[in-house]
Structure 1
């Protein structure tokens, strides 16, 4: 089992007084690398859930770390133009020596803030799925250093080459947000045809197992090697021997983070290390090979210390 840590780029916006530097994020990244963790990750939103821009912060972290992978979980690709996104992703991959994992999602338009985000970016939210599917092959080709000519419904590119490429011969690694509980079969179809793996955020363990098995079946149809794919689960936790306190703090954190607790008990677990270890093992047995941990707590560094000392040691 490999572990990653979600860095608190949104927490920096929410906390008061707002810090005027990224020292907390740098310290957490260095702690993660010293502890032998697989990766650090950052989330994304332009205006609906403001935070530090993901590829900018990963570029900064690339200069202070040596080996740890640098991921987005997840970047809302259809808000961007594929050429600009490919240039930025390739740049960070070059700076980091090929350590970028570009976790990408279609994004949502479930509330007014999200709908405004799309419209202010000049994108019709109803087109986000179609834009996403056009973008993914373009991003892969451009980050491999290929010259691209393409005419589509949303993008038209003529003799485009971003003039730099990922140190990895197959371009920047792409993983896609995919959820069994969404009921959207297209998410499963995309993974083996357009990406290198998948990440689920809201599935229960049995749902994650169904997701993984379905993607494995689709991989056979697509001629993709399932074993080589990244299989990631994003887990939100709060470590505290007082379960009521852990649950209360997590709920408060998530309400501030999203404006509401959008997925209820699909978040978690909260509470004792034993409970959290058991839950991680459930996802491991259902096919997850990497778990990205987000701390639903206001003392992020203390939670990370507890995770490294009390949970990581169990794996």
Structure 2
């Protein structure tokens, strides 16, 4: 593995392998091997029927029938995984910020950072499932971008500790006292998810880095060009941002996009090594991987091959 290159393992808290034993098995694998971190996605409840379109597939369909599969909540799971590990970082990829009251969320994140001795990473996003917003009685789906910005601001202030107040469009806080603050100062790293121009503006304004998904090495350069531009507008140094990418791997089967091109992270080990190298050439230093296509044994085989033929050879 190239020096400075980091790999994270998404332990899959939704889908058929989202069971206690498998999640803990994957976490133990990460802790005992070369993975730098473990990661959790965020859904709380899936409506039985929904019309919202999943933004990371060509058809708009969610890749798993969640009426048939288990789903665990990420913040609660993080607490368990922190207790089960001593080395790896624990991150969200990504947490939907409007789903939870930001004061409560911030205090939970502080608690997790304290109990892990500073091993948490907040991947933050705006969400896409309008019906889930409604089920959680969250702030309006249509305002989720502005709500997310305010949530991130509140989380930062509470993690910093001391007296906290806030006045925004969607949240207003009289002076509160946050003690202790997070171990990581002034707050745990915040990586912004999403690939839209709005998401990239959020990276420049509020993030310590960008966590991309769905873009490939052929088109990530255009997104990075936009990000450089918005950093300049915001007075941020692009070079100060970390760049992380999340792959859904499928070793041995080259999945196809709508235009017929290969989905990055799928195909032969050489294909996937090439995907990673091209992202590294663009400035990336962390890759988060998940296999979600089969049963637990197939997942074990995929991850074993990923570690031996890709992670150890990049």
Relative to the length of structure 1, the TM-score reads 0.83
Could you list the runs of 5+ residues in structure 1 that have no partner in the other structure? 109-113, 252-260
Contact residue 174 and residue 195 of structure 1 kept, 8 A: yes
Residues 78-97 of structure 1, C-alpha deviations (whole Å, 9 max, x = no match): 11111011011111111111
Q: How does 1:122-201 map to 2 (within 5 A)?
A: 122-123=137-138, 124-179=140-195, 184-201=196-213
Residues 127-173 of structure 1, C-alpha deviations (whole Å, 9 max, x = no match): 11111111111111111113221222211111123322211121121
* Matched residue, 1:212: 224
Residue range with higher mean Cα deviation, 131-140 or 212-221: 212-221
How many Å separate the matches in 1 of 2:258 and 2:90? Answer: 27
Task: Say which of 80, 83, 96 aligns to 1:60.
Answer: 80
Could you list the runs of 5+ residues in structure 2 that have no partner in the other structure? 47-65
Count of aligned pairs between the two proteins: 284
Q: How does 1:1-315 map to 2 (within 5 A)?
A: 1-11=5-15, 14=16, 19=19, 22-48=20-46, 51-108=71-128, 114-123=129-138, 124-179=140-195, 184-240=196-252, 243=253, 247=255, 267-298=263-294, 299-315=298-314
Contact residue 235 and residue 267 of structure 1 kept, 8 A: no
How many Å separate the matches in 1 of 2:289 and 2:309? Answer: 14
How many Å separate the matches in 2 of 1:166 and 1:177? Answer: 22
Alpha-carbon shift at residue 304 of structure 1 (Å): 1.4
Contact residue 203 and residue 266 of structure 1 kept, 8 A: no
Relative to the length of structure 2, the TM-score reads 0.83
Question: Secondary structure, in 3 states, of the residue corresponding to 1:291?
Answer: strand
Alpha-carbon shift at residue 30 of structure 1 (Å): 2.0
* Matched residue, 1:255: none
Q: 1:293 to 1:262 in 2, by over 3 A?
A: farther
Contact residue 164 and residue 178 of structure 2 kept, 8 A: no
How many Å separate the matches in 1 of 2:262 and 2:268? Answer: 17
Q: 1:7 to 1:158 in 2, by over 3 A?
A: same
Question: Secondary structure, in 3 states, of the residue corresponding to 1:154?
Answer: coil
Residues 97-119 of structure 1, C-alpha deviations (whole Å, 9 max, x = no match): 111110010111xxxxx222111
Runs of 4+ off more than 4 Å: 261-267
